Structures are given as C-alpha cells and as structure tokens.
Structure 1
Amino acid sequence: MMAQYLEIKEAHKDALLFYRMGDFYEMFFDDAVAAAEALDIALTKRGKHEGDDIPMCGVPVHAAEGYLLTLIRKGFRVAVCEQMESPAEAKKRGSKSVVKRDVVRLVTPGTLTEDALLEARRHNFLAAYMDIRGDAALAWSDISTGAFHVMPIKPARLGPELARLAPSELIVSEAVEHDLSEITSDLGVPVTALGRASFDSTNAEKRLCSLFSVGTLEAFAPFTRPEVSAMGALVDYLDITQKGKLPLLQPPAREFQDRVVQIDAATRRNLELTHALSGGRAGSLLSVMDRTVTAGGARLLEQRLSSPSRDLETVQRRLDAVTFCVENGSNTGQIREALRKVPDLDRALSRLSLGRGGPRDLAAIRNALTQAEAIADQTGAMDLPDLLTSAAKDLTGHGDLIDLLDASLIADPPLLARDGGFIATGYDGELDEARKLRDEGRSVIAGMQQEYIGATGIQSLKIKHNNVLGYFIETTATHAEKMMSPPLSDTFIHRQTTANQVRFTTVPLSEMETKILNAGGRALEIEKRLYETLSGAVLERAAQINTTARALAEFDLATALADLARGEDWCLPQVDSSRSFDIVGGRHPVVEYALRKQSGDSFVANDCTLTAEDGAAIWLLTGPNMAGKSTFLRQNALIALLAQMGSYVPADSAHIGLVSQIFSRVGASDDLARGRSTFMVEMVETAAILNQADDRALVILDEIGRGTATYDGLSIAWATLEHLHEVNQSRALFATHYHEMTALAGKLDGVENATVAVKEWEGEVIFLHEVRKGAADRSYGVQVAQLAGLPKSVVERARVVLDALEKGEREGGAAQKAIVDDLPLFSVSATPPPQPTKPSPLDAMIHDIHPDELTPKEALDLIYKLKEAAKT
C-alpha cells in the first residue's frame, strides 16, 4: 500500500495527496505534517519507512469539503486520490492485491465547483495570461458557471484587469512567472506556472476546436495568437486538474478594454467597490447596493459594478430596464417573489457536467426552469424595454424538460444519487416493483400464499423461510400425494420431506425470492441508471439552460436596482456623449447608509459641476480635515460609476457625459515590503494618473504632496494640477491644504475654487459638510486636533506657535525667521494653562436636578426658573 502511495505522490509533488482508505482520506510523510498543522488535527504515525516512523493524519470522507476549503484558503493544492475498485474486486486478483487507486481531481483555488467551497454570490475566476512579443491576452473562466471570456490587452494593463476580475488563480508560462511576481503579489493572486507546450498556439487551437466541436475558431471571433494561447492554456490546465473530465464551458466571448471604464487597482481599493479597505465585503459599495435575490443576479451585479460600460447604447438599455421596474413596482414585486424561489442554475448545471452533481442539482434545475416559465407568463402582457424583452424570450422553451423532471423527481430529493429515494413513485414500473418488494416483501409473499391455497385447495398451506432453503411452500404429509401428482406437480417442485411436512417451491416463488433479496440493491441501481438518463437530458440542453440563467440574472438585477432606487430615493441619471458632469444633491451611498444605521443622522447632499466642452474642468477643493472633502471626492466618482453600470444614482439629478477612466489618489499608506514610503506610493499612483488620463477621464486627487516638506509638496501639487489642466484636460476634483494654490483659479480657465464650509463657535469648529464656491481661509488643524483629544496643553501650545508663524508669514520671510527663532524649543510650561471658568448659577441649578424624582408640575416650574436664571 505504501509503495502505491509513494508512486502516486511522486506524480503530484506540488499537492497534498488525499489518499482514500475506506471512509477516510489519509495523508502521510510531509503531507501529513503540513496538513495536521493547517487543519489543526491530530498527527499520528503508522508503520515505518527506511527505519523511521511514518507521520500520518486523516479526515473523514463525508466531511472532506470543509477541510478542503481550509487548505485551499491557506494556499495548498490538493490531489484527491480515490479507490477505483472495491476490496472484494481487488481480492479476485489475489488475496494480497492492493485496491487500485488513482487521482481523479486536482483541487486548486480556480477549479472549485462545490457550493461548500464557493461564495454563492461571487464568481470564482481562473485566468490565463499570455504575452507574445508585446501582444498580450487574458482569458478567464468560472468553471462553476461555465463562463468563458478572453480579451486582448496591453502588458501594462494586466494589473488593472486582474484587479477588476479578482481571479482566484492565474496561469502563466514558466518563462514569465518571475517577471509578473510583483503584480501578482500586490494583488494577492495565486500563480500556477505551466510549460510552454500548454501555451503553444497551434496545439491550443486544436484543443479548443476539439472542446467546442468546431472546425475553426473563426466561428466565434477572429482571435489573435495570444488570445488562442491563453484560452488553450486555460483549457489544458482544466484537463490536467479535472483528469480529462472537462467542465461544460460556454463558447468564448471576446471582450475589449475600450468598452468598459478603465479603473486601476489603487482606485478600486480607494473607492471600496467590492471590498472595504478593512478587507471584508461589509462597508463596500457592493454590500450597500446588493438587493438581488438570486446567486446569479448577485454575481451579475458584482460584474457590472466592477466593469461599468463605456458604450452609450448599452448603458441606456440597462437604465431603461431599471426605469421600467421602478415605474411598475407592483408587477416587478411579483417577479421578485418568483425569483426568490430560483436556485443557482449555473452551478447546478456545472456540477452535473463534471459528474459531481446529484439529485438535488436536478431538482434545482427543475425549480429554476419552472420559475422562469412563471416569470415569462407574468411579463407576457407587459410592454417591456428592449433588454428585458430579450431576456423574457430566453425564459421559455423548457416545458418538456420541466415535465420530465417533475414526473421523475420527488419534491425534495437527497444530495447524493447513491442515497437513492429521489425518483418519484409511478415514474418507472420496474423501480416501483423493486421498492415494493424491498419495503413490502412480507405482503407480497402473503399474496402468493393465498394464490397457492386457492390453486391447491389446501387451507393449511404455508410459505415459510429459512437460511438453508430460502422461501419454500410447506404442507402436512397428508397432502403429499396430492401435491406430487399432476396437475399440481407441474407447478409445485418437491424440495424436501420431513417426518410431518412436505416442502415445495415454484419457479415464480424462486424468482420472487431472488427479487426480494436483491430488491434494495436493484432499486438503487435502477435509480442510478435513471439519474444518468435525466442528467443526460439536462446536459443536452445546457446551452439553452445557460441562456435562461443569464436571463433570470438580468431580471433579478434590474428589479433589485429598482428596489434600491425606490428605497434609497436615487434618481435616473442622464448619460450622453457630452463632457458634462453636473450633479445636484449628490450623496455618498455607503456613508449615507452608515449614518442612518448608526446614528439616524441624515447625509448632507452637495452639488458638483465639472462641465467643459473643451479643455479641463477642475474644482480645487479646500477646507479642514474631517469636514468631508474625501467623502465628496469619492461620492462623485461613485455616482459616475453607478450611472455607467446602468443604475440609478444617489442624487437629486445627474447629467453625466461618458467617462472613459476613473482615477483616484485618496488616502495614505506605505509599502514596506517593497521599500516604498507613504510619499513614494503617493507619487507612483499620481504618476500613473498623469501618464494615462485622457480628456474623458474623471480624476479625484486628495492632498497631493502632503508626505514631504511643505514647499516640495506645494510645488508638486501645483505642477500636477497644471498638467491635468494643460495636458490631460480631464474633469477633476483636487483637494488640498495648500491654500496658495487657490490663486490658480484666476489664472487657468476651467479651474474653480470650492470649499467645505465650517463654523467656529467659542473656539471650537463645527463641520457643516456643505461644499460651496470659494476658498477656505485656513485648515483648522488645531481645532481638529482638539476634537481628537490631544492634551489641552499641547493644543494651547499649538495655537501660540500657529499665531506666531502666521504673523511672521504676513510680515515677510525675515520677520518669520525671527519669530520662529524666538520660540523656545520646549515651552510647554511657558504656555499658561487655560483658566477654569467660574460656574454660573445656571450650572449649579442644573447640577442639582434629579430628573427621575421630578413630578410633571415640578418639571414645568423648574423650566421657568431656569429661564429666569439664564437671563442673569
């Protein structure tokens, strides 16, 4: 057995080997040590190898999925080695023969299909990248749904596209693995390197043609060599990991970079589109928006949010669909109720195609298709917009398959076919007979006994059973002659004579005995055969079922976005090909949601106008920290993104000319692993924006240059804004604490000053969160420091130093230097502590009040007394 283990392990050195032994998957040697630590399970030992104990650990087969998920999340790959025969079959070759075993599947992050291993509301993409002399392509697939896409890209765009797709695994050629390590490690994408043969375009084309049963790939699109290579490598990897049992992939859909809004990895992170900065889904835009009721709809929402469209017709079709659902709330409410009953059609179909499905997947397909027909009936009389009209047509045409599955399956079948009991009574006569024998064997024998009594006229005739003869017919010896004479002897065959009884059998009784003894196994075999037949019937219609799944997701997304728009008071944006950007009463959807949930406060809405038919349109935003500048920047980027994904937006009105790119430089963080300071990270991201942004880009920049010396930072921020204005000519929001830059509004056309309003009250600052035209007079940093809880002595000292510095700045450079030189280096003690204020009579009265002890009349009298005291 260990020799067999070592031979199989040799062929799968880079994976943990789950070696099936009865009801357990066992691991040995280094695999056992690594797995025991990762899974927190006991490490034992079994036997010896070259004189040393063999480490061993194991997990139960029935609970293997949970352990697999833990290992995959911790970066392991797992080779699942199954028993290919029973121990009884192995013994036929010899008493010491080892059960045949082989790896049936390699489990990797990008090749998961089981519900327990996947997030139902997210895609699980496996991607492959190929670069042929500067021409590159990226292919990706979700084998749990069958989705298959490819896109020609520039090598420099690999990082942003990986950030958009967030694949669970990336396949690359061994030749470029090292070159891409920086990109993949930044994004946290596991990489698998394959040999060059997997990426060979000639072999890849043959592989793809064979998979899709076509003579040429021209039937799908005129793919480039890098595209064919990337797709071929992906399919080859699936062939390797699935051991020749390829998933049911849809024909490859070709995408183009210029059809979606370009958003780089830093911007996605800063805007918290699908994940919050903390790393989880909670607090992201997706978490606030997601009102979908099906897994397919949730995956489509994430896809649209990650890839807003740049095609005006596509955007308008999506907005028309949402508008229809908004205006027809009662009808779409019925559609949503039907959608709630729709299981995950895509993943059920994928599991069936890979042989990992079960009766419950067949039931899921039946239930989903039934609800699809119901939705088609509901929408039949509606005047649907184009997008939903097309989707509604794809919901029907499954009547005969639904009837087949309805007739054959029980309402709630078990998970696994091997459990049996999932075929409905009355569907198959042979199965019903086997079940009757299995469940009602005694009554069947009793029926035969009455039949034989009637045929012989012997009332004492009995059918009995023992372990030697099995079932037999028994009469007393007085009836022996009658039973052994014609015509009864033609039917009843003599088996045994005892002192007082004579025993017989019949051909029907012998056959029935065999049937009863084998009924359980026979019933299970019949059900397995019927399961394969039903699975085959489903897979024959896989393409149509996939189309229906997409249609259901489209209805789910449109109705979910409509529900969101009605519930959150979002408006229909006007999207066109102009360069307008006019937002009235815009709000940040995530911040607004958080305020309402946590404190019940309302969000302060603000306008933003960045409209210029020619040249740049830039708002230079000043104001204190904590006033809401970053929120204002982000909310306008999110509104543009939401509009182009085809959603209503959180505003009173919005007019948005198509945006080609969204760039964000917000927040501060270092990258210690790569030796980058906070300022260096900021400069790298700013450089990417200035080198890539075009005149249709929307750029939001927050406090450029803050991480270095004041004049260095000011000069960089100044030059950056000038470049955006003169070269990029983008629409931009530029937040800064460098008030000197407000002078640019008078020098550059299209640059306007705006500020976030605050109010001072008795030395404290109150944030109004209102964005107004004009420039801030100062940053209120000391007041914000006071709010943060800095010691009073530090705050007072900061006020003194600030006053001195501002006085020096007004009087000129020499005066400023003299004032700064006069400031003692350590003068905390020199700053007089704030004088305690004398308590007023009003304070004393309030201090003595005990509200719980007041009667209503006393409370009213007290209010009058307090009012009088306040006058004095």
Structure 2
Amino acid sequence: MSDKTAKVTPMMAQFLEIKNGYPDALLFYRMGDFYELFFDDAVAAAAALDIALTKRGKHLGDDIPMCGVPVHSAEGYLLTLIRKGFRVAVCEQMEDPAEAKKRGSKSVVRRDVVRLVTPGTLTEESLLDARRHNFLAAYNEVRDDAALAWVDISTGAFRVMPSNRTRLSPELARLAPRELVVCDDLSAELGELVSESGADGTDLGRAAFDSASGEKRLLDLFKVGSLDAFGTFSRAEMGAMGAIVEYLDITQKGKLPLLRPPVREMAHGTMQIDAATRRNLELTHSLSGGRDGSLLSVIDRTATAGGGRLLERRLSSPSCDLAEIRARLDGVTFFKEASRLTEDVRAALRKVPDIDRALSRLGLDRGGPRDLTAIRSGIAAAEDIATMLSDRDLPDNLSDAASALTGHDALKHLLGEALVAEPPLLARDGGFIAPGYDADLDEARQLRDEGRGVIAGMQAQYADHTGISSLKIKHNNVLGYFIETTATHAQKMLGAPLSEHYIHRQTTANAVRFTTVALSDMETKILNAGNRALEIEKRLYSTLVAEVLTQAAEIANTARALAELDVAAGFATLARSENWTAPTVDESRVFDVQAGRHPVVEAALKRSGDPFVANDCRLSNGERDADIWLLTGPNMAGKSTFLRQNALIALLAQSGSYVPAKSAHIGIVSQLFSRVGASDDLARGRSTFMVEMVETAAILNQANDRALVILDEIGRGTATYDGLSIAWATLEHLHDVNQCRALFATHYHEMTQLAAKLDGVENATIAVKEWEGDVIFLHEVHKGAADRSYGVQVAKLAGLPDSVIARANTVLEALEKGEREGTGQKALIDDLPLFAAMPAPKQTAASGPSEIEQALADIQPDSLSPIEALNLLYQLREKLET
C-alpha cells in the first residue's frame, strides 16, 4: 500500500491508508452523499450488490475500479453484504469540506472509520428480524475450564455460562449466534464446529481473552468497583465476557452499547437439545428452512417484538428449574382464567413498540426521533397495563412484572410534551419537536415559515411610528430587507427625532431607503431561521436522548416485564383457543400423556377439515410401566408423528406452556434427543447411514437417566442383518446403560422379542386394517406388536406399477415360506427366475425410465441371495418414502 500511496492522488492515498487498517472488510468511503468503494473492494461489492462497476482515473497505470451506494439507502446494501458473508468498515467525513479548504486547496477532508459492521453487531431495524435475537458469542478455554458468553447489542442482553467442548455444540444450536469470537490459537480446532453452527467465525488474539483484562473492561463498562453484585465468575467466563467487550470496542470504535449486567446461567439449568434434534423437531424453523411449518409458527400468539424474542428463547431453552417452570405455568393459568382481562392486556400490548432495540440505538447514537417516540409509547402502554392489573391477585412472577411497569411519569410527560405524534425517521430532517415546547424554536419556525407575515407586521409598526402610511418594507439581493418611502416623506425620516431610529441606506431617483437595527436583526434571523430551527431541534434531541439514557436500566426492566406478560397472555390465548391443558411437572421420572396431539400436524389437519387422532403415552410411571416403548407398524401410519408429539409436549411443558393433551404428567427432562428422518451430508463425505450413526453415537454417549430419547428406524440404511444388529444393541444400551425414557420405532419385528427379555421395554404398535388387499391407517397407538409391516400395501398406495406390486408379493411369500420351512434361500432362488419373465417397465421418450424402474430393469435375479432381495425391497421402499 505504501508504494501505491506515493503515486496516487491525496484522496486515493487517504483511502488506501484507511483501508490498510481493515484488510478483511469492504471500506465504505464517504464522499458527499455517497459511500464509494475502490480497487478490489469495488469489484467484490459490485458483484455482490449487482450494481455498476465503473473506472476512476489512471493513477496506478490502470483505471481504478469503483462503485458506490447512496448514503440515504445504505442500510439495504449493508444487509445484502452481511448476508453474503462480508464485513463493512463505514468511513465517514469527520469535518466540513470548508474546514479542509482552510488548510489549503489540495487538502483532503478528514475521514475515519466510525463503525465496523459485522453479523453479530447489527442494531438497525431494517437489518434485523424483529422477533429473533441477534447474538454475538465468545468461547474461551483456560486449562480445564471453558466458558461461553453472548450478547445481543440490539437489546442489551448479556449472559455467560460454563461450557466445555461437548456442551458447546448444543449451546450454539440453542443460541444460533450470528458471530462467534474465538482465540486465534483455537480457531483451527473449532473451525468445523463453528461452521456447523452457522455462525461467522472471528479470531482475536489471546490477550483479548485474558481474565484480568476482561475484569477491568467489565468494571469500566458498568462503572463499578467490583463485579460481586453480578455474581462469581470463573477465569474462563471472565475471559469470554472480556473478549466480547474488547470486540465491541473494536467494531463500535469505542462507542460501547448499553449492555445489562451479565447473568450467569448454569450449564444444566436448561434442557439440552442438540442441533440434530432441533432440526428434526422443527422447533423454530421447518426442514425447508423457513419459519412456516415450525412449532414456533404454530404457537406464537405474542403481540410484541420483545415477546416474540422471549418466546423463541423459551422454546429454544426449556427450563429444568422446577420452581421457574411452575411460576410460568401459574402466569398462564391466571390469564387463561381471566379471558376478558387477557384480551384487554393484549390490546394494550399491540401498541407497544420495540423498546429494547429503540433504547439500544439511542445508546449507540444510531437512533432517531422515532426511537424516542417508541420509548414514549412503550412506557405509556406499560402504565395502562399496570392499571389493568392493579386490583388483581397476581401470581408472583406476574406481580414482579407488573411492578416494573410504572415509575416513568416524569419521562412520559417530558416526551409527551416535547415530541410530535409522528416524527420523521432522522433527526436531521427536523420537525419532531412539538410546537409550544421551546420558545426559541417556535420563533425560528415562525420566521422560517411565516417570514413575510413577520415583515408585514414590522411594516405596519413602522408606518404607524412614522405616520407615513405609504411606507413599505422591500427586499433585493443587494440590500436585503429595507424600508422605502418617497422623497417627499423621506425628509421627515432624515430629520430628528426619526433619524435616530431609521438609518439611511440609499437614495434613488424616486425613493429613499432606510433600515433599522431591528430590521437588520430580523433579516439575519429570517435568513438563518431554517438552519437555526434545525440546530435547536438537534440540541433538544440530544437533551431528550440523554434523559432517556439516564433511565435506561428502568426502561429495560419495563421492556422485559412487558415481554413476560406478552408470552404468558399469548400462551393463555393459545391454550384457550386450541383446548390445551396445564401439565403437571415434577422431579419424578414419570412421562404420562393422555390423548396427546402433535400441534403442528393438528394445525395443518384443521385447515383441511380433518381431525387429529390423539394417543396416550405412559413411560416410567411405576412398576407397571416401562421406560422404553418399542413401536412397530407400517410406514405412513403415524409412528414419526407420535414420537415427535411426545417430545414436543415435554418441551412445551418445560417452556412454561400448556400442552396439546387431555392431561400430562412430565418428570423433568434434562436432555432431549431425536434421531428421526434420513439425510446425507455430502459436503463432509457422509452418507445417510453415516449421519444416522453419528447422531445415534452422540445420543448413546451423552444421554443420562433424565433424558427423553426418540429414535426412528435405526439401522435401516445398511444391510438387513447389520441394521437389525445395530438397532438391537442400541435399544439394549439405552435400557441398560443410559437408563433413560425412550420411544423407539422400528420395522425390525424381531426386536419385539426384547420386551420379554428387558423389564423396561414394552411393545406398542400403530393400528391398521386391511380391506380387500388395501391397508387403512387408523393412527391409533396401543400396546402390542405389529404382525407385519404392510410395506407392499404402502408401495401400492404410493403408485408403484401393478407388475411390481405383484412381483413383490411373490417374493414376500417366498421369503415367508422359506422362513417357515427353514429353506429360505432355496425357496427364493427357485422362484426368482419368474421375475425375469416379467415385461420391462415402459419408458417414455420425454422422460426416460424413473430411478425405481431403472433399478428394477438392472436386476439379475439369479445372482440375488435372499438377504439381497430383501434389501432390494427395503431400498425401493426408501426411494418411495424419499
């Protein structure tokens, strides 16, 4: 850069010098009303933003690539770049161009980077999802100790917890941070884990994670002499929090956000749910990637953005604290039983803006007048809700929330008096201070908007004072405003006593012109009224912001209380409209759900007018009930739905919600594991079966006796006997070693024998009926084992050609006959040649053979063993399911 700098213009030299400090970011270089990008930054940005790439000058032997975006619409471009993995250094003009000219004609306007925009440090409303947190996290290791800290600078949330590497993966899945800061000497080791979490990885030097330096940063940030009031933190935790503050200092250029004091979470305070389980259960996102179709989309009845974020947090982090769970359920019960009050509260909540994010933007000096009115509207609505709740017998958690809604009378009055109802977005636009609030502002506005009227009033005043009715006040570009009268009357004004007040300016052929000190002052005021009005408004804006920030902690408490009330009222509304019931949650190992339902599937069926078939599930409920249900039955009968619905009922109960069931008794679930569905991971060279085995291994290695495990079709991705062996051994391990509660669905009917050998295993099946060769799914779960899988019938329903169905039945009969007579292989081999005589599948010129038809056409019957033939059928079934 230094060699280039010597050859380019002063402005280009400044760009290169600043860019040298931010090699990994695109530099948005402010030039008037545009942010300009040059060199490689311009090439990359133009491609990412799909904007024109142009050339500038020939200072380095070649044209310099450049592109630009307007300052007023820069947020949209920033969002696109951040989503595409870029970071942006925003470089602003730090002085007026006129000041630069005073230093010389070739002087360059002083510029500097004011902010480094990264995924984890966004605050702008247009760049964020209002109903989701935007976490920045930091992970730290100190010998045998490790910790994870995270913040959302858009809301001020700041938390930390002990977390080793085993725990780190599920915690990242829970938090879904946009950015993860790690020490550079751990970067290579954690690279794959960071990539899997979906976060952008950022490296900092080891010094940033030093615990002593971290403590000092925190003391300075919160302006306290000791952190004892916040709790006791380990060296790893202190280092992780310190690294976050250091990174914020780097990216915000010393303008630290309004963070609340850090809260220490216990490692086992929430239900552990790994990434695979979250994905399989579609908690906050469906398998397609969107919010629609997820559990969150079905249960969200919140009215505020803050409530929406809290609901997602509760759903992602179900509590394991029994007192906390019961307190949340008490709040839901209160609102459910007071339906009229609930509707009144929810109506008031709908008027609440996003207080947390407005407060954060004001604290970072990125706010505007609308953020002030958001604070005003929020605290006014909070006071209204407090009044509604004032004479009610509230449960403890709602009582605590209600007490945080008041105490803002003076601020509400101030903002109410100072601000108009609907202000502009930016302070620089003016017009947000209400008339009558400031006398100087009113005068400036009057002069700006009614200058002619003011001059007319002065003209009448002067005419009356001089007794000259024809006196006029006029204006030209040379003299400005002046008093003009005819030569006849001028003599009167030129003589005493009027000459002491009226100052002669000019004599023309037909008139004489005068001025006064008051008129000259008024002229200056009129000419500067617009700028003066805007400057007064900016000063008043700064005063109002400062007043808000002095009460930031109290306002943040009010915002949290409103979110708490919103979630409780939303859960109550959900329970009432969907006929959900209050679960009993305790420290036992009981899992007893009567008439349970899958909330997402039920919602989909309701839209189509079909009923949902509810089912019971009873585990670990005394001597008569097993810890594990072994579930058999055909595909499409509802096994996966049954497995998932019970996992979701446990999760909802510990989130503090009512549940979709007639009744539910849930003993605290410490971990939730789900191995359901099949997918590969081609990027990492993993087949479907390998992914299944990796996820199963994680369950068997981590699940404790308070875990709830749901497993579906373990072992089906390999040869029949291999798969059966793996599934058999997995079930035994869950029973003997993990000793957890589990629902285990399988097509291996041989496994039903385990119910007789293992005390804690019980068989259950999905009921079906056959009618004239077709299968009818009843979706009812009852005790016992299925007599067969009905795979061929399901294949028929899926639309396989009749010839394939007929042949499948022939092979199946041969296998079953061989099984009965002990001559399985011979019976199958004797029968297989008939397969070759079948007509080949029809092909169309347009599309060619299907994948299944091609597989059938490639079969060499005489070379198949019985097991290979059976595996073929399983593979065909999997293709159909896929």
TM tier, smaller: over 0.9
2:620 to 611, 636, 645: 611
Q: Deviations over 1:308-349 (max 9, x none)?
A: 011111000000000111110111100000000100000000
Shift of 1:825: 5.0
Shift of 1:616: 6.0
Shift of 1:214: 1.0
Following superposition of structure 1 onto structure 2, how do residues 498-577 of structure 1 map, counting pairs within 5 Å?
A: 498-577=508-587
2:370 to 336, 360, 363: 360
**Larger CA deviation: 369-378 vs 500-509:** 500-509
1:427 to 437, 449, 468: 437
1:206 to 216, 224, 228: 216
1:584 to 590, 594, 597: 594
Give the corresponding residue for 1:134: 144
Task: Report if the CA contact (8 A) 1:579-1:613 is conserved.
Answer: no
Following superposition of structure 1 onto structure 2, how do residues 234-245 of structure 1 map, counting pairs within 5 Å?
A: 234-245=244-255
Shift of 1:472: 1.3
1:819 partnered with 2:845: no
Q: What SS is found at the alignment partner of 2:189?
A: coil
Instruction: Give the Cα separation in 1 of the matches to 2:563 and 2:525.
Output: 48
Q: Deviations over 1:166-209 (max 9, x none)?
A: 00000001000110111112222110101112111121111111
Instruction: Give the Cα separation in 2 of the matches to 1:830 and 1:295.
Output: 63
Instruction: Give the Cα separation in 2 of the matches to 1:645 and 1:47.
Output: 62
Task: Give the letter for the 1:809 counterpart.
Answer: E
Instruction: Give the Cα separation in 2 of the matches to 1:485 and 1:677.
Output: 106
Shift of 1:67: 0.9
Task: Report if the CA contact (8 A) 2:335-2:568 is conserved.
Answer: yes
Task: Give the letter for the 2:132 counterpart.
Answer: R
Give the corresponding residue for 2:878: none
1:339 partnered with 2:339: no
Task: Give the letter for the 1:605 counterpart.
Answer: A
Shift of 1:475: 1.9
1:602 partnered with 2:602: no
Give the corresponding residue for 2:860: none
Shift of 1:26: 1.2
Give the corresponding residue for 2:69: 59
1:442 to 433, 452, 455: 452
Instruction: Give the Cα separation in 2 of the matches to 1:806 and 1:188.
Output: 49
Give the 3 Å change call, closer, same or farther, for CA 750–358 of structure 1 in structure 2: same
Shift of 1:823: 2.8
Instruction: Give the Cα separation in 1 of the matches to 2:299 and 2:681.
Output: 31
Task: Report if the CA contact (8 A) 1:797-1:831 is conserved.
Answer: no
TM-score, L = length of structure 1 = 0.94
Give the corresponding residue for 2:260: 250
Give the corresponding residue for 2:476: 466
Task: Give the letter for the 2:692 counterpart.
Answer: E
Following superposition of structure 1 onto structure 2, how do residues 584-663 of structure 1 map, counting pairs within 5 Å?
A: 584-597=594-607, 599-612=608-621, 617-663=627-673
Q: Deviations over 1:718-757 (max 9, x none)?
A: 1111111112111111111111111111121121110001
Task: Report if the CA contact (8 A) 2:331-2:398 is conserved.
Answer: yes
Q: What SS is found at the alignment partner of 1:797?
A: helix
CA RMSD of aligned residues (A): 1.4
Instruction: Give the Cα separation in 2 of the matches to 1:426 and 1:404.
Output: 13
Instruction: Give the Cα separation in 2 of the matches to 1:456 and 1:830.
Output: 121
Task: Give the letter for the 1:277 counterpart.
Answer: L
Task: Report if the CA contact (8 A) 2:178-2:198 is conserved.
Answer: no
Give the 3 Å change call, closer, same or farther, for CA 826–41 of structure 1 in structure 2: farther
Q: Deviations over 1:11-57 (max 9, x none)?
A: 11100111111111111111111111111111111112421111111
Task: Report if the CA contact (8 A) 2:283-2:315 is conserved.
Answer: yes
1:387 partnered with 2:397: yes
Shift of 1:76: 0.4
Task: Report if the CA contact (8 A) 1:620-1:734 is conserved.
Answer: yes
1:486 partnered with 2:496: yes
Q: Deviations over 1:747-790 (max 9, x none)?
A: 21121110001111111111111101100000011111111111
Give the 3 Å change call, closer, same or farther, for CA 266–825 of structure 1 in structure 2: farther
Q: What SS is found at the alignment partner of 2:659?
A: coil
Q: What SS is found at the alignment partner of 2:710?
A: strand
Instruction: Give the Cα separation in 2 of the matches to 1:203 and 1:465.
Output: 66
Instruction: Give the Cα separation in 2 of the matches to 1:538 and 1:456.
Output: 53
**Larger CA deviation: 124-133 vs 476-485:** 476-485
Shift of 1:831: 8.8
Give the corresponding residue for 1:736: 746
Aligned identity (percent) is 74
Instruction: Give the Cα separation in 2 of the matches to 1:790 and 1:114.
Output: 54
2:725 to 715, 733, 736: 715
2:770 to 741, 745, 760: 760
Q: Deviations over 1:772-823 (max 9, x none)?
A: 11000000111111111111111110100000001111112xx112112213
Give the 3 Å change call, closer, same or farther, for CA 183–611 of structure 1 in structure 2: same
**Larger CA deviation: 565-574 vs 162-171:** 565-574
Q: What SS is found at the alignment partner of 2:57?
A: strand
- Contiguous gaps of at least 5 residues in structure 2: 1-10, 842-882
1:192 partnered with 2:196: no
Task: Report if the CA contact (8 A) 1:20-1:26 is conserved.
Answer: yes
Q: What SS is found at the alignment partner of 1:259?
A: coil
Instruction: Give the Cα separation in 1 of the matches to 2:472 and 2:836.
Output: 112
- Contiguous gaps of at least 5 residues in structure 1: 834-872
Give the corresponding residue for 1:162: 172
Give the corresponding residue for 1:838: none
Q: Deviations over 1:427-478 (max 9, x none)?
A: 0000000000011111111111111112111112111111111111122222
Give the corresponding residue for 1:293: 303
Shift of 1:479: 2.6
Instruction: Give the Cα separation in 2 of the matches to 1:445 and 1:691.
Output: 87
Task: Report if the CA contact (8 A) 2:575-2:581 is conserved.
Answer: yes
Instruction: Give the Cα separation in 2 of the matches to 1:613 and 1:57.
Output: 72
Task: Report if the CA contact (8 A) 1:612-1:750 is conserved.
Answer: no
Instruction: Give the Cα separation in 1 of the matches to 2:390 and 2:438.
Output: 36
Task: Report if the CA contact (8 A) 1:797-1:828 is conserved.
Answer: no
Task: Report if the CA contact (8 A) 1:616-1:729 is conserved.
Answer: no
Instruction: Give the Cα separation in 1 of the matches to 2:405 and 2:799.
Output: 61
Following superposition of structure 1 onto structure 2, how do residues 798-813 of structure 1 map, counting pairs within 5 Å?
A: 798-812=808-822
Q: Deviations over 1:265-293 (max 9, x none)?
A: 11111111011111111111001111111
Q: What SS is found at the alignment partner of 2:138?
A: strand
Task: Report if the CA contact (8 A) 1:621-1:736 is conserved.
Answer: yes
Following superposition of structure 1 onto structure 2, how do residues 672-711 of structure 1 map, counting pairs within 5 Å?
A: 672-711=682-721
TM-score, L = length of structure 2 = 0.93
Shift of 1:86: 2.3
**Larger CA deviation: 610-619 vs 716-725:** 610-619
Task: Report if the CA contact (8 A) 1:131-1:155 is conserved.
Answer: no
Instruction: Give the Cα separation in 2 of the matches to 1:287 and 1:49.
Output: 56
Shift of 1:502: 2.1
Instruction: Give the Cα separation in 2 of the matches to 1:442 and 1:203.
Output: 63
Task: Give the letter for the 1:174 counterpart.
Answer: D
Task: Give the letter for the 2:743 counterpart.
Answer: L
Instruction: Give the Cα separation in 2 of the matches to 1:76 and 1:123.
Output: 20
Task: Give the letter for the 2:835 counterpart.
Answer: S
Q: Deviations over 1:110-140 (max 9, x none)?
A: 0000011000010000000001113110010
Task: Give the letter for the 1:137 counterpart.
Answer: A
Give the corresponding residue for 1:113: 123
1:781 to 760, 777, 791: 791
1:228 partnered with 2:238: yes
Matched residue pairs, number?
830
**Larger CA deviation: 130-139 vs 678-687:** 678-687
**Larger CA deviation: 67-76 vs 461-470:** 461-470
